[in-house]
Amino acid sequence: MKVQLIPTIEQRIQIKEPPIRARPRLRTPGFSRMIRFSKPPEMETLMSVKNAFYAQSGGVTSVINASACGVIQAVRANKGKIGKLYAGRNGIIGALREELIDTGKESAATIAALRHTPSGAFGSCRHKLKSIEENRAEYERLIEVFKAHNIGYFFYNGGGDSADTCLKVSQLSANLGYPVQAIHIPKTIDNDLPLTDNCPGFGSVAKYIAVSTREAALDVASMCETSTKVFILEAMGRHAGWIAAAGGLAAEREGDAPHIILFPEIAFDREKFLKRVQRCVKRYGYCVIVDSEGAQYADGRFLADSGVRDAFGHAQLGGVAPTLAEMVKSEFGYKYHWAVADYLQRSARHIASATDVEQAYAVGKAAVDLALAGKNAVMVSIERGKGKRYSWRVGDAPLDKVANVEKMMPRHFISRDGFSITEPARDYLAPLIVGEDYPPYQKGLPRYARLKNELVPRKLKKRFKV
Amino acid sequence: MKVQLIPTIEQRIQIKEPPIRARPRLRTPGFSRMIRFSKPPEMETLMSVKNAFYAQSGGVTSVINASACGVIQAVRANKGKIGKLYAGRNGIIGALREELIDTGKESAATIAALRHTPSGAFGSCRHKLKSIEENRAEYERLIEVFKAHNIGYFFYNGGGDSADTCLKVSQLSANLGYPVQAIHIPKTIDNDLPLTDNCPGFGSVAKYIAVSTREAALDVASMCETSTKVFILEAMGRHAGWIAAAGGLAAEREGDAPHIILFPEIAFDREKFLKRVQRCVKRYGYCVIVDSEGAQYADGRFLADSGVRDAFGHAQLGGVAPTLAEMVKSEFGYKYHWAVADYLQRSARHIASATDVEQAYAVGKAAVDLALAGKNAVMVSIERGKGKRYSWRVGDAPLDKVANVEKMMPRHFISRDGFSITEPARDYLAPLIVGEDYPPYQKGLPRYARLKNELVPRKLKKRFKV
């Protein structure tokens, strides 16, 4: 599939239905639109190298740019095998709109700085491709843009929903006759992707929550005699309690905070919760709670559902902490404080886990290696070594087994009473937050990369509304 | 005042009104209760050295323990001049209850670790001494405890309310005839103490808010095309907007976040605010707001007053961010996110300002030097050098000019439209967040000091209810 020829820009702009010469090498029946023109031999060589497309998808993390850095540096290291690397402006939308950022315009220093820059440097989006049956136009548009820019590699950096999109793109060849190798690069603070030991992005948010829990708990402990007795930290995590669970790492000894963790996996029981709060305050003088934004009642109602839905149809959550605080206040009259870390937790590159940064970089780099090895429809995975000492390596997993599967906390990671983590959970979580990877500072503030994000000139006349 | 003798423990426990021999050196008329017993000459020498009392007061900070470290190390370095250093368990309440922590029981390593440990290691409290007329019993109790433990130095580490308490203690000699040197060690994240260029504790929370604003803004910028358009970070600061102002340091260029800062000093105008939000979203694609918890309407009503009052009669605030978010949502329908950092910001030792840590340590050390130089009723201050390059040194200020005075943001530090900081504000704020002072880590988490906090045996029979 590596040798493919495309018309010149001028030709392409003119041609809506270009003359076709089917390539016998390709097995998929739909592959009937590949085009071949007569061209000088040096152009053949030039055009035989496919370009690549990289996009960031869904909620960003403090290390997704480290994956971008891995992809870009690997592509640059493979000159002659992969052509240009385009990044979608605002994710897959950039492909649909033909807004392609030329990563080649960025200096090596800027690209290196991506490794320590949080959030999505090229822009991300919440846009889930529907099935081909439901929205054929989007897929045809993608192919049009990919063709126009000679794109043969699709690197998609996202979570569960993005794995689904990536899988659909990987099937373009089979379904619409356009050959593209789609590699999914895992990214999600939620840590809910299957077939990978953990997800890049999670280790850093886990570290943030564990560090913040430990620090805020010291604050409450020092104030509780005459002031705040209950402190609630709300962590992200819509359906899986991984992030809230990481708060549990703050505790080292009996009595250490957090005293209560609320997981989405465990149905919230008001009476049991309040009883536990009271017991903690009586025993330790204070009570620190880490709650997951996804904490819910037995009937599936979220403790704080704002009613807003995002593009994926998910409820926009937030505000469980004040709800719980009110509950505690009205029952016992305890003075409370609460914090909702929200975006702070997933953008806190200043306290990123070094392990997480390394893994994020590694999965980006590995995606390029997998592509060059001819893989398609796979997700780069992280495999944990069997030894007692933590070790890991990258692997790959079939995308169709990844898409639309959410990995919850296993029940044995949560204590019987449902309020804390177990030793196996601790063993799993602890290595993921190890190591600090501080960004450089200037005048007291982290120096994060600023990209030019220059767009490649459009090749298509048609605009596409997303 | 240095030579003073007290009875043995046994004697003191027996004696409620010990025999008195007035010391002619003392000028205050009320000084009629000083006691002198016949004793062997070696005891005279031993007892001539006064002990010291140190207490942490009010809301804690990420560097108040650095001040404690400064005090303790300075006392240890002045063996023979100051005797034992007792810390109040939970602040001044520890003195009233005769719950005195023997700091001498802590190893040099533990004390050194205080420098990088957030919050109040000995416990703090919100307990403001009333006037002597209103609650004479408390002052008499203080004297009783001070006498019993031969305490002649009072180091009080707190903010504005604590300066008031410290001032009252400094007047014990004049009012109740007990000589004690009271030195106030400034501490407040609110940065609202007068007669000092800035307050230890502020620089670190300022850095936290500036860093978090910069990081979260990158997140919003990368998501705004299809998702969150407005992000609101709520900072602490009840009456003075210093902390929210520090968020302004995140911006370097036109268009950088934060786009709006809400100060308590500027009356909140709903229409003007909403108009500005809309303008930002139209111009930049998103809008980042840093609001002060003390943001208020022209009539003084806080935007979010929970109705709860603390021991000082202050409103317990929180939740301005969700209030603003709702406002924006109902007006424009923009998707929003908000964060309330609450205790996280003031306990975030992991991202403390090195300048702040140094100053916090220095004011603690200086308090001991001032005491040894015979000063009373002063606050250690930080004086900024006149040069263009930032420099500072410690000084001292009279406590009666400090107590109960709140230093607001000067109007010329706030832009004419009331939504951002000016260059003079930037010049003032910027040096305070410079430098990183990372705590040591173990297994991915900061290693903070754990004190034994052993109490000194009680010498008084009487208990005192606080």
Q: What is the DSSP string of A172-189?
A: HHHHHS---EEEEEE--T
Q: How far is CA A207 from the centre of its chain?
A: 16
Considering only CB atoms, which chain B residues are within 8 Å of A435? 444
Residue A373, classed as helix, strand or coil, is coil
Mutate to test the interface with B, among A119, A227, A328, A344 (most CBs of B within 10 A): A344
Q: How far is A148 from chain B (nearest CA, A)?
A: 24
Cis peptide before B439 (omega within 30 of 0): no
Average pLDDT rounded to a whole number, residues A44-63: 86
Check CB contact under 8 Å for B444 and A438.
no
Confidence of residue B316 (pLDDT cuts 50, 70, 90): low
Q: Number of C-alpha atoms within 13 angstroms, CB side, residue B130? A: 11
Res. A238 pLDDT band, cuts 50 70 90: confident
How far is Cα A444 from Cα A360, in angstroms, rounded to an integer?
Answer: 26
Q: Which pLDDT does position B315 carry in this prediction?
A: 55
A351 vs B353: CB contact, 8 Å cut-off? no
Calculate mean pLDDT across residues B65-71: 98
Angstrom distances, CA of residue A317 to CA of A149, A342, B67, B336: 39, 10, 40, 11
Q: In chain B, whose CA is at the least distance from the CA of A336? A: B316
Tell me: pLDDT of A235 over 80.
yes
Choosing from B164, B190, B291, B396, the catalytic residue is B190
Range name among A271-280, A396-405, A409-418 with the lowest pLDDT average: A396-405
Give the chain B residue nearest A55 (alpha carbons): B222
Cα dihedral A53, A59, A65, A66 in deg (nearest 10): -110
Least confident of A159-173, B15-29, B279-293: B15-29
Give the gap in angstroms from C-alpha B190 to the nearest C-alpha of chain A. Answer: 16
Residue B320, φ and ψ in degrees, nearest 5: -70, -40
Q: What is the DSSP string of A256-280?
A: PSP-EEE-TTS-B-HHHHHHHHHHH
A440: Cβ contacts below 8 Å, ≥ 6 apart: A116, A446, A447
Confidence of residue A56 (pLDDT cuts 50, 70, 90): very high
CA A44 – CA B362 distance, rounded (Å) = 71
- A310 and B227: CB-CB below 8 Å? yes
Rounded mean pLDDT of chain A? 89
Distance CA A53, CA A151 (A): 6
- Residue A34 pLDDT more than 60? no
pLDDT, mean of residues A90-113: 98
User: Would you say residue B66 has pLDDT above 90?
Assistant: yes
How many Å apart are CA B217 and CA B258, to the nearest integer? 8
pTM comes to 0.89
Measured torsion, CA atoms of residues A255, A258, A262, A265, in degrees rounded to the nearest 10: -80
Report the pLDDT averaged over residues B22-49: 43
**How far is the C-alpha of B383 from the C-alpha of B268, rounded, in Å?**
33
- What angle is formed at CA B67 by the lines to CA B61 and CA B72, rounded to 5 degrees? 140
Spatial strand order of the sheet with A336-340 comes to A260-262, A287-292, A230-235, A336-340, B336-340, B230-235, B287-292, B260-262
Confidence of residue B238 (pLDDT cuts 50, 70, 90): confident
Instruction: Give the ranges where B373-449 is alpha helix by DSSP (H).
Output: 423-429
User: Active-site positions of A?
Assistant: 190
Amino acid identity at B80: G
Residues 6+ apart with CB under 8 A from A326: none
Instruction: Point out the residue among B93, B223, B343 whose CB comes nearest to the CB of A124.
Output: B223
Tokens of B374: 């015979």
Q: Hey, is A320 helix, strand or coil?
A: helix
Nearest CA in chain A to B433: A444
Sorted by sequence, the CB contacts under 8 Å of residue A251 that are 6+ apart come out as: A257, A258, A420
Residues of chain B in contact with residue A335, where contact means CB-CB under 8 angstroms, are 308, 310, 316
- DSSP character for A438? P
CB–CB contact A124 B59 (8 Å): no
Across the interface, whether the CB atoms of B340 and A340 are under 8 A apart is answered yes
Contact across the interface for B218 and A56, Cβ inside 8 Å: no
Residue type, A31: F
Average pLDDT value for residue range A11-23: 35
